[in-house]
């Protein structure tokens, strides 16, 4: 089939003379303000490929979550010959290895970790690869050569956790659109120009930059070679929609062949691809079904991204996530929406291929999004619980760009202009316990921070505790900043993301994304100390083992300023302290209130806290109130979280919100309207992020079996509400049987 690309030409602009995808998008985007009625189901080809994939996914699950590992090859962009699922039906091709779901070794992050992951599966890394690392160094080795006793202590005592010092840091988003718009040849030329511009007296920075640029050029050449093996010439720009999707995917595929970063987001590609799709539709060269087919098959590939992980990794990031995050929607600075038909097509994949956590579809919510899109998002949430929402009206003006993606889970990142260095997390409740224990870790009494005086016996004094806690946080910030400097220095040195950086501006701005866990425990603990009477119970070593609380105290999650302001104040203080320290490559400190799934692990490793939480009990996830303590209803809970200042936590304030369909309204139409109103209400007060779970029968069954995980699950019955876990077992079963007849799932 021959396609004349010049039949309908794109609107020209700065993008023709410089690498500037944004300009191309702004000039050519076709916002769509209609509803979802135009969408197509899956094509026959898609269904055939997907049915092969489903078989493989079942085998993977049956095989304890890992289908196969290649133990002979170090994964690079050009490692592995082409892999297919069902070649004749694949509209978009490319796998990370030569076989569906086979995992590859990426040992430059840390060979030890790869060896243990392989060993856990009863296999062995080949002698050849082991031998290579008798000579070559890796990130993990470098980091530990530079760590000092202080960092090691913070790390081993679980004050700083999940540090990317033995695995890839991830978080960087390449502007994968560039390969489609320009082709690799033009990008290589641009990088060569950048290299030549690094002149004058040499500095360490310039030398490093020159080396990096050349690594990027090599990556672009490798990308070209990889695509050529699949039979495509990506050195030139994509000529039509299917090529644009394919080119873009090759660029992303190169990234996930080279790196196994914890989170490797896709960016905001939907509306870029839409420009090509619209042009082809207009030219009559494709149908809507074919347009959907490209997106379905692309998304299918994104669902198949796999990395080799050891069991220990699962504690922090449960469920084998890859965070292929795609940001959909939002507005342009000029007031037009970025919602296009392809924004709908991406969401439609959740119907065509069924619900899925990946790609991590993130809707950039604005009060001014088209109604039809808002409703479709709400509908998809209700049907699949698979999408999350972030506040475009907050991030766009506050951070400055209207061309951004979401790095990892919740973090703003301007595409192609700026990157992030992942900073893992600090355990704030642990820090509080250190403050209450003369600078010692509460479990075995090892000294972690010097110069923290002992507290007098008896009930805790709020102002004294606050003072000691601040001193602890200052020290924590100092050590944390030091650890991150070392980690990112070494990561660049030994495990540089050349494939991703090849599609990012040379020498971009960098955010260093610090994180904090347990904000709700801190707020409640300090509130308890201030408003109730809290007396530590100490063991023979003088270490706190429990706390006696007399009286009531306001709890975070009930829209009560007395405690909500404590959460704000602590966040503000901590980021203030982090900002005082030097950062690698002069990156800008940001902070997240986010835990992923590690809230359970943090809990396990943290002793009893002054809020009444017992030793080992899980933290609440992200910035959520502690389980069961937000007893004033859903809106009060949302209002509390909404008060946290985004300017103090620009890396993201994560809130996970679960409802059952029935509590949203008695029919689908009402549920959709009410979920839209919920989002408008939450984001209207400049809240940042919301995970929306509209739970289905499976969840209720889980709640039946594990009621401890669902303290707030509420069901509306006509005229009143009841707490699900307080109904009798027989009633719960009845509700499980009744709620889902016909209408949903």
Minimum CB separation of residue 643 from another protein in Å reads: 11
**Residue 497 or 564: which CB sits closer to another protein?**
564
Q: 51 CB contacts (<8 Å, ≥6 apart)?
A: none
Q: Which helix (H) or strand (E) holds 140?
A: helix 139-146
DSSP secondary structure code for residue 337 in this structure: B
Check residue 711 for interaction with another protein (CB under 8 A).
Answer: no
Check residue 31 for interaction with another protein (CB under 8 A).
Answer: no
**Residue 359 or 625: which CB sits closer to another protein?**
625
Residue selected from 65, 82, 508, 681 as contacting another protein according to rule CB under 8 A? 681
Active-site hit among 39, 387, 409, 660: 409
- Contact yes or no for 602/595 (Cβ under 8 A): yes
CA distances from 174 to 268, 272, 296, 326, 624 (A): 10, 14, 22, 12, 31
Cis status, amide bond into 359, omega within 30 of 0: yes
Number of residues that bind another protein (CB under 8 A): 38
Number of Cβ within 10 Å of residue 193's Cβ equals: 12
Check residue 721 for interaction with another protein (CB under 8 A).
Answer: yes
Paired residues of 420 in beta bridges = 511
Cα Rg, the chain, nearest whole Å: 26
- Give me the sign of the Cα torsion angle 413, 415, 418, 419: positive
**Residue 639 or 650: which CB sits closer to another protein?**
639
Q: Which helix (H) or strand (E) holds 593?
A: strand 588-593
Check residue 717 for interaction with another protein (CB under 8 A).
Answer: yes
Check residue 674 for interaction with another protein (CB under 8 A).
Answer: yes
Minimum CB separation of residue 612 from another protein in Å reads: 24
Residue selected from 108, 182, 602, 682 as contacting another protein according to rule CB under 8 A? 682
Minimum CB separation of residue 724 from another protein in Å reads: 10
Residue selected from 666, 709, 743, 745 as contacting another protein according to rule CB under 8 A? 666
Residue that has been written with the tokens 């840390």 in this structure: 110
Minimum CB separation of residue 554 from another protein in Å reads: 15
**Residue 212 or 559: which CB sits closer to another protein?**
559
CA–CA distance, 681 with 692 (Å, rounded to integer): 14
CA–CA distance, 543 with 490 (Å, rounded to integer): 37
Helices then strands, counting H and E runs in the chain, come out as 26, 19
Nearest-CA neighbor of 522 among 545, 556, 549?
556
Q: Of 520-528, 535-543, 692-700, 728-736, which part binds another protein (CB under 8 A)?
A: 728-736
Check residue 459 for interaction with another protein (CB under 8 A).
Answer: no
Q: Which helix (H) or strand (E) holds 694?
A: strand 689-694
Nearest-CA neighbor of 304 among 242, 358, 230?
358
Paired residues of 346 in beta bridges = none
Minimum CB separation of residue 738 from another protein in Å reads: 8
Number of Cβ within 10 Å of residue 588's Cβ equals: 15
Helix 288-303, helix 44-62: angle, nearest 10: 10
Is 66 an annotated catalytic residue? no
Check residue 727 for interaction with another protein (CB under 8 A).
Answer: yes
Check residue 664 for interaction with another protein (CB under 8 A).
Answer: yes
Residue selected from 371, 670, 698, 708 as contacting another protein according to rule CB under 8 A? 670
Residue selected from 446, 537, 635, 737 as contacting another protein according to rule CB under 8 A? 635
- Contact yes or no for 535/460 (Cβ under 8 A): yes
Check residue 720 for interaction with another protein (CB under 8 A).
Answer: yes
Paired residues of 426 in beta bridges = 160, 516
What is the per-residue DSSP string for 278-295?
Answer: HHHHHHTSS-HHHHHHHH
CA–CA distance, 422 with 594 (Å, rounded to integer): 12
**Residue 137 or 731: which CB sits closer to another protein?**
731
Check residue 552 for interaction with another protein (CB under 8 A).
Answer: no
Interface with another protein in residues 492-511 (CB under 8 A): none
Q: Which helix (H) or strand (E) holds 599?
A: helix 599-604
Minimum CB separation of residue 345 from another protein in Å reads: 28
CA–CA distance, 531 with 348 (Å, rounded to integer): 50
DSSP secondary structure code for residue 440 in this structure: B
Check residue 723 for interaction with another protein (CB under 8 A).
Answer: no
Q: Which helix (H) or strand (E) holds 569?
A: helix 561-578
Residue selected from 414, 559, 577, 651 as contacting another protein according to rule CB under 8 A? 559
Alpha helix ranges (H) inside 325-443: 341-352, 371-384, 392-399, 428-436
**Residue 45 or 629: which CB sits closer to another protein?**
629
**Residue 705 or 728: which CB sits closer to another protein?**
728
Minimum CB separation of residue 410 from another protein in Å reads: 21
Minimum CB separation of residue 734 from another protein in Å reads: 8
Minimum CB separation of residue 561 from another protein in Å reads: 11
Q: Of 341-349, 444-452, 511-519, 628-636, which part binds another protein (CB under 8 A)?
A: 628-636
Q: How far is CA 37 from the centre of its chain?
A: 31
Residue selected from 632, 668, 697, 736 as contacting another protein according to rule CB under 8 A? 632
Nearest-CA neighbor of 215 among 585, 510, 507, 497?
497
Minimum CB separation of residue 722 from another protein in Å reads: 5
**Residue 544 or 637: which CB sits closer to another protein?**
637
Minimum CB separation of residue 556 from another protein in Å reads: 15
Residue selected from 153, 332, 600, 677 as contacting another protein according to rule CB under 8 A? 677
Q: Of 210-218, 693-701, 702-710, 718-726, which part binds another protein (CB under 8 A)?
A: 718-726
Q: Of 55-63, 95-103, 284-292, 633-641, which part binds another protein (CB under 8 A)?
A: 633-641
Q: Which helix (H) or strand (E) holds 487?
A: helix 462-494
Residue selected from 357, 576, 665, 711 as contacting another protein according to rule CB under 8 A? 665
**Residue 357 or 665: which CB sits closer to another protein?**
665
Alpha helix ranges (H) inside 230-364: 241-258, 270-283, 288-303, 311-316, 341-352
**Residue 135 or 720: which CB sits closer to another protein?**
720
**Residue 149 or 730: which CB sits closer to another protein?**
730
CA–CA distance, 99 with 96 (Å, rounded to integer): 8
Residue that has been written with the tokens 């990157």 in this structure: 419
Residue that has been written with the tokens 């039946």 in this structure: 704
In the shown chain, the binding pattern of residues 87 to 126 toward another protein, with x for contact by CB under 8 A and - for none, equals: ----------------------------------------
Check residue 634 for interaction with another protein (CB under 8 A).
Answer: yes
Nearest-CA neighbor of 608 among 617, 598, 619?
617
Interface with another protein in residues 580-619 (CB under 8 A): none
**Residue 202 or 717: which CB sits closer to another protein?**
717
**Residue 196 or 723: which CB sits closer to another protein?**
723
Minimum CB separation of residue 673 from another protein in Å reads: 7
Minimum CB separation of residue 715 from another protein in Å reads: 8
Active-site hit among 408, 460, 504, 512: 408
CA–CA distance, 101 with 60 (Å, rounded to integer): 8
In the shown chain, the binding pattern of residues 644 to 663 toward another protein, with x for contact by CB under 8 A and - for none, equals: -------------------x
Q: 420 CB contacts (<8 Å, ≥6 apart)?
A: 171, 172, 407, 408, 411, 413, 510, 511, 512, 513, 651
Residue selected from 59, 667, 709, 743 as contacting another protein according to rule CB under 8 A? 667
Q: Which residues bind another protein (CB under 8 A)?
A: 559, 632-636, 638-639, 663-667, 670-671, 673-674, 676-678, 680-682, 684-685, 715-722, 726-728, 731, 734
Which residues are the active-site residues? Answer: 408-409
């Amino acid at each position: 089939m021959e396609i004349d690309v010049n039949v309908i030409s794109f609107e020209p602009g700065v993008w023709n003379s410089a690498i500037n995808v944004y300009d191309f998008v702004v000039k050519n985007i076709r916002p769509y303000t209609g509803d979802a009625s135009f969408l197509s189901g899956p094509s026959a080809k898609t269904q055939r490929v997907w049915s092969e994939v489903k078989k493989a996914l079942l085998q993977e699950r049956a095989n304890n979550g890992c289908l196969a590992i290649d133990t002979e090859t170090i994964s690079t962009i050009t490692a592995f010959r082409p892999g297919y699922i069902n070649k004749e039906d694949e509209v978009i091709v490319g796998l990370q290895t030569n076989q569906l779901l086979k995992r590859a070794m990426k040992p430059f992050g840390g060979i030890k970790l790869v060896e243990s992951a392989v060993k856990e599966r009863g296999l062995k890394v080949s002698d050849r690869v082991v031998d290579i690392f008798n000579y070559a160094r890796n990130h993990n080795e470098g980091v530990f050569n530079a760590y000092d006793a202080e960092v090691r202590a913070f790390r081993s005592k679980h004050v700083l956790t999940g540090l990317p010092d033995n695995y890839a840091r991830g978080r960087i988003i390449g502007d994968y659109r560039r390969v489609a718009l320009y082709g690799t040849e033009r990008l290589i030329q641009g990088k060569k120009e950048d290299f030549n511009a690094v002149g004058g007296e040499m500095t360490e920075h310039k030398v490093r930059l020159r080396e990096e640029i050349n690594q990027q050029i090599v990556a672009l050449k490798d990308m070209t070679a990889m695509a050529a093996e699949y039979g495509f010439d990506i050195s030139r720009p994509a000529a039509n929609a299917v090529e644009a999707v394919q080119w873009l995917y090759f660029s992303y595929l190169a990234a996930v062949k080279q790196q196994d970063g914890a989170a490797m987001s896709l960016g905001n590609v939907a509306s870029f691809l839409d420009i090509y799709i619209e042009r082809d539709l207009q030219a009559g060269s494709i149908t809507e079904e074919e347009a959907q087919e490209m997106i379905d098959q692309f998304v299918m590939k994104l669902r198949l991204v796999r990395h080799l992980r050891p069991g220990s990794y699962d504690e922090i990031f449960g469920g084998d996530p890859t965070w292929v995050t795609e940001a959909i929607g939002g507005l342009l600075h000029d007031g037009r929406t970025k919602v296009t038909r392809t924004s709908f097509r991406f969401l439609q994949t959740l119907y065509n291929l069924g619900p899925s956590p990946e790609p991590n579809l993130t809707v950039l919510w604005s009060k001014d999004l088209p109604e039809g899109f808002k409703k479709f998002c709400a509908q998809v949430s209700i049907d699949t619980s698979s999408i999350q929402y972030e506040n475009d009206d907050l991030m766009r003006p506050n951070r400055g760009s209207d061309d951004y993606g979401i790095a990892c889970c919740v973090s703003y990142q301007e595409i192609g202009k700026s990157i992030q260095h992942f900073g893992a997390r600090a355990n704030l409740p642990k820090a509080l316990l250190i403050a209450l224990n003369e600078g010692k870790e509460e479990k075995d009494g090892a000294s972690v921070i010097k110069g923290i005086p002992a507290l007098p016996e008896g009930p805790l004094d709020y102002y004294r505790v606050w003072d000691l806690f601040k001193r602890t946080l200052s020290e924590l910030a100092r050590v944390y900043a030091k650890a991150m400097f070392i980690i990112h220095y070494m990561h660049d040195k030994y495990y540089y993301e050349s494939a991703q950086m090849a599609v990012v501006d040379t020498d971009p701005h960098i955010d260093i994304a610090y994180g904090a866990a347990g904000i709700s425990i801190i707020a409640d603990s300090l509130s308890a100390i201030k408003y109730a009477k809290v007396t530590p119970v100490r063991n023979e070593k003088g270490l706190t083992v429990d706390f006696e609380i007399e009286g009531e105290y306001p709890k975070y999650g009930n829209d009560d300023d007395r405690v909500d302001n404590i959460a704000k104040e602590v966040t503000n203080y901590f980021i203030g302290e982090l900002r005082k320290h030097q950062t690698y490559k002069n990156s800008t400190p940001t902070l997240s209130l986010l835990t992923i799934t590690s809230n359970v692990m943090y809990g396990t490793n943290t002793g009893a806290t002054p809020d009444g939480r017992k030793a080992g009990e899980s933290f609440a996830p992200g910035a959520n109130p502690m389980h069961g303590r937000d007893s004033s209803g859903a809106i009060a809970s949302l209002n509390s979280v909404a008060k946290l200042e985004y300017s103090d936590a620009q890396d993201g304030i994560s809130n996970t919100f679960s409802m059952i369909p029935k509590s949203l309204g008695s029919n689908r139409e009402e549920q959709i309207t009410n979920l839209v109103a919920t989002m408008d209400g939450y984001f209207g007060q400049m809240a940042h992020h919301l995970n929306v779970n509209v739970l289905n029968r499976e969840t209720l069954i889980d709640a039946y079996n594990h009621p401890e995980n669902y303290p707030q699950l509420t069901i509306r019955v006509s005229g009143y509400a009841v707490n699900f876990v307080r109904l009798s077992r027989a009633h719960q079963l009845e509700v499980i049987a009744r709620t889902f007849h016909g209408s949903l799932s």
